[in-house]
Structure 1
Amino acid sequence: MFKGSIVALVTPMTENGDVDYSSLQDLVEFHIKSGTDAIVAVGTTGESATLPMEEHIHVVRKTVEYAAGRIKVISGSGANSTDEAIELSQASAEVGADGLLSVVPYYNKPQQRGMIAHFEKVADACELPLLLYNVPGRTVADMLPETTAVLARHPNIVGIKDATGDLERLEALKRVLPGDFILLSGDDPSGCEFMLRGGHGVISVTANVVPSMMAQLCKAALSGSREQAEQIDTPLQALHHALFIEPNPVMPKWALYRMGLIPSPVLRLPMVEPELDSQNTIEAVLHDIGVIS
C-alpha cells in the first residue's frame, strides 16, 4: 500500500510567507518524474505546526490535484487534540488524500492508554488507511511497541512511521506486529539498514533533495541487495546529517532554494533561515554530491 521512497514534502512559500502553489505543483512533478513512490503533504517537514487548518487542508487538496492520481498523497493529519486530529483526517478524506499520517500527540505527554484511545477514536472517525507516527524527539511521548501492537488490531490502522532511529526498536516492532503491518523509517541516516532488516520504506526528508537517488536506494534495499543499497546510501550520509543540523525543515528548504527548485527559502515563524555556517555546510555537501555547481 505505502512503501519505498515517500517524500516528506516541504511547503514552498513566497517572500511574504504565503504558500507558493506554483512551486508546489513543480515539486509534485519533480517527484513524479524522479520515481518517488508517495508524498506526505503537510507533515512536520511541510510546516504543519504553523499552517492553520483551512490552509493545511487546501495544501493537501492542491497536492492531490497536482498529483492527479499519478502518485499517492498521504496527508499529515495529526494533532495533540483528538478532536482536531479527527477534523483534519475527515477533511483530508474529503479532498482526496490516499492515506493519513497521524503523530503521537505532542506536548500533552499522554499515557500509553491515552495514545490507544486517541488513535482508535481517530481511526473510527475516518476510513482512510492511517499510519501512526512515533517521533519522541519532537513529541516527548514515546509510543511503545506493545501499544502499537494493540493499535494494529484496528482495521484502518495499517502501519507506523518510526522516527526513533533505533534499529532495536524495529526488531521489537517486528516481534509484536502482524507481518502485513507497514513499517516505515522516519530517520534517513538509518533508513537503508531499516529496510534491509525488514522495513518497507522511508518517509524521507532527504528525498526532497535527491528523489531519484532515494528511489533507487529504496528499490535496492527492498530487493535485499545490501551491496547496491549501501553503495547508494554511503555518499548520501553526509546529506542525511546536514539536513538536520538545524531544525527541520530549515535545511531542506535552503537546499531546494540553492538548487533552484523553489524561488524562496522562506519559513513560517518561529522558524527562520539557517545560520551562515549551516548554509555553507549544506552547500558544500550539495556540491560534493553534484546537485549544485
Structure 2
Amino acid sequence: MSRIDKFKGVIPAFFACYDESGEVSPERVRAFTQFLIDKGVNGLYVNGSSGECIYMTKEERMLVLENVMAVAKGKITVIAHIAALSTRESVELAKHAEKCGADALAALPPYYFTLPEYAVEQYWKAMFDATDLPFIIYNIPGTTQFTLSMNLFNKMRTYDKVIGVKNSSMPTQDIQKFKSAGGEDFVVFNGPDEQFISGRVIGADAGIGGTYGVMPELFLAANAALENGDIRKARDIQNSINEIIYTMVSCKGNLYSVEKEILRHQGIDIGQARLPLPPFTEEDVPVIDRCAEMIVAAKAKFC
C-alpha cells in the first residue's frame, strides 16, 4: 500500500459549525462529521478556508478538530489545516493535531506580509518538524497572493514528510507540473471545484473542495465515473455541479452562508457564517431554494 493511498478520492473541506449565538458548537461539529461520513466521502479537510479558520481563535480551531476526531478517527482520513499568522501558533496547532490523531497536516503560506521563499520554507518546516505527521502544502495564490514556484516546490520535496500539495490555482497545468515533478508517491489535490474532473484527468489524485459538503454525492459520482472510464458521464456531472456553483455564487450573501442554508434543506443545521462574511439576504432565498432543488435533481439523475 502506498503512503498516499488514504489521501485519494473526494475530501470535503469541512465547514465551520456554530450555535445560535455564533460560538463553535461541538454538537454540530460532530453531527456534520457524521453527516459527511454517511455520504461516503473519503476524508475531511478540517479548519481550512471553508472552515473559516482565519476568523477563529487557536482554541476554537482545536475544539473543532477535537470534535471531528471524536467521530471520524479510524473511520476516514482527516487532514488538519494548521496555518496561522505566527509560526509559533501554527506549531501549537500541529502538535495538537498529532495528539488528536489526525492523519496529516496542511498549511497555506504565511499571509498578510509578503515573505521571501526561504522564509515560507522555514514557516512550513517548523510545523512538520514539530510532529511525526506527513505534511501537505496548500497553494492558493488567489487568496494569499503567494504563488508556489517550482523552485520552492522542489525544495519542499526534499523533505520526506512533505507528501503532497493541495493546488487551488486555476490553471490545470499547475496540477500536471506538480504531479510530474512529485511522482507517483506524491499526492496532488485538485482545489477549484469547478475543474474537479479536469484536474483529475490531468494528474490530480484527489480533490479537496469547499462545495463538496452540500453535494458530496455528485463529486463521488463524478469521481467514480472517471475511474470507470466513463468520461462523458463524468463531464456531464461536472457540468451540473458547475451550474449549481454558478447559481450559488450569484447570491449577494457569502458562498458559505448560502451553503449552510442549503444544508438546512438537507436536514443539517450548522449555524451561520461568521462576520465579516456577509449573510444571505431575503432576495437570496429563492436562489438558495433553486440551488437545493438543482442538487436534488442532479442526484436523482446521476447517483
Matched, 1:48 2:56: no
For residues 263 and 97 of structure 1, the distance between their equivalents in structure 2, rounded to whole angstroms, comes to 22
2:65 corresponds to which of 43, 47, 60: 60
Tell me which residue corresponds to 1:111. 116
| Number of matched pairs | 291
Matched, 1:259 2:266: yes
Tell me the secondary structure at the aligned position of residue 12 of structure 2: strand
For residues 140 and 247 of structure 1, the distance between their equivalents in structure 2, rounded to whole angstroms, comes to 21
1:228 corresponds to which of 230, 233, 238: 233
1:263 to partner: Cα distance: 5.7
For residues 54 and 126 of structure 1, the distance between their equivalents in structure 2, rounded to whole angstroms, comes to 19
1:250 to partner: Cα distance: 2.7
Question: After the TM superposition, which segments of 4 or more aligned residues of structure 1 sit over 6 Å from their partners?
Answer: none
Tell me which residue corresponds to 2:9. 4
Output the aligned Cα RMSD.
2.0
Tell me the secondary structure at the aligned position of residue 180 of structure 1: coil
CA contact (8 A) 2:78 2:103 kept: yes
Residues 27-49 of structure 1: CA deviation (Å, up to 9, x unaligned): 21121121100011211111111
Q: 1:196 to 1:94 in 2, by over 3 A?
A: same
For residues 19 and 75 of structure 2, the distance between their equivalents in structure 1, rounded to whole angstroms, comes to 26
AA of the residue aligned to 2:291: V
CA contact (8 A) 2:248 2:287 kept: no
AA of the residue aligned to 1:97: A
Q: 1:252 to 1:101 in 2, by over 3 A?
A: farther
Task: Compare 280-289 and 136-145 and name the one that shifted more.
Answer: 280-289
Q: Where does 1:171-210 land on structure 2 (aligned, <5 Å)?
A: 171-210=176-215
CA contact (8 A) 2:62 2:93 kept: yes
Tell me which residue corresponds to 2:170. 165
Task: Compare 160-169 and 21-30 and name the one that shifted more.
Answer: 21-30
Tell me which residue corresponds to 1:79. 84
Tell me which residue corresponds to 1:275. 281
AA of the residue aligned to 2:159: H
For residues 146 and 254 of structure 2, the distance between their equivalents in structure 1, rounded to whole angstroms, comes to 19
CA contact (8 A) 2:176 2:204 kept: no
Give ranges in structure 1 of 5+ residues lacking alignment: none
For residues 227 and 204 of structure 2, the distance between their equivalents in structure 1, rounded to whole angstroms, comes to 8
AA of the residue aligned to 2:235: E
For residues 242 and 98 of structure 2, the distance between their equivalents in structure 1, rounded to whole angstroms, comes to 36
1:146 to partner: Cα distance: 2.6
Tell me which residue corresponds to 2:131. 126
Task: Compare 206-215 and 238-247 and name the one that shifted more.
Answer: 238-247
TM-score (norm 1): 0.92
For residues 263 and 160 of structure 1, the distance between their equivalents in structure 2, rounded to whole angstroms, comes to 29
1:215 to partner: Cα distance: 1.6
Residues 140-182 of structure 1: CA deviation (Å, up to 9, x unaligned): 1111133112101211111011111211212222343233211
CA contact (8 A) 2:18 2:24 kept: yes
Task: Compare 236-245 and 80-89 and name the one that shifted more.
Answer: 236-245
AA of the residue aligned to 2:163: V
Tell me which residue corresponds to 2:20. 15
Tell me the secondary structure at the aligned position of residue 86 of structure 1: helix
Give ranges in structure 2 of 5+ residues lacking alignment: 1-5
CA contact (8 A) 1:254 1:273 kept: no
Q: 1:243 to 1:135 in 2, by over 3 A?
A: farther
TM-score (norm 2): 0.89
2:217 corresponds to which of 185, 194, 212: 212
AA of the residue aligned to 1:129: P
Q: 1:22 to 1:158 in 2, by over 3 A?
A: same
Task: Compare 11-20 and 236-245 and name the one that shifted more.
Answer: 236-245
For residues 143 and 115 of structure 2, the distance between their equivalents in structure 1, rounded to whole angstroms, comes to 14
Q: 1:164 to 1:263 in 2, by over 3 A?
A: closer
Q: 1:65 to 1:150 in 2, by over 3 A?
A: same
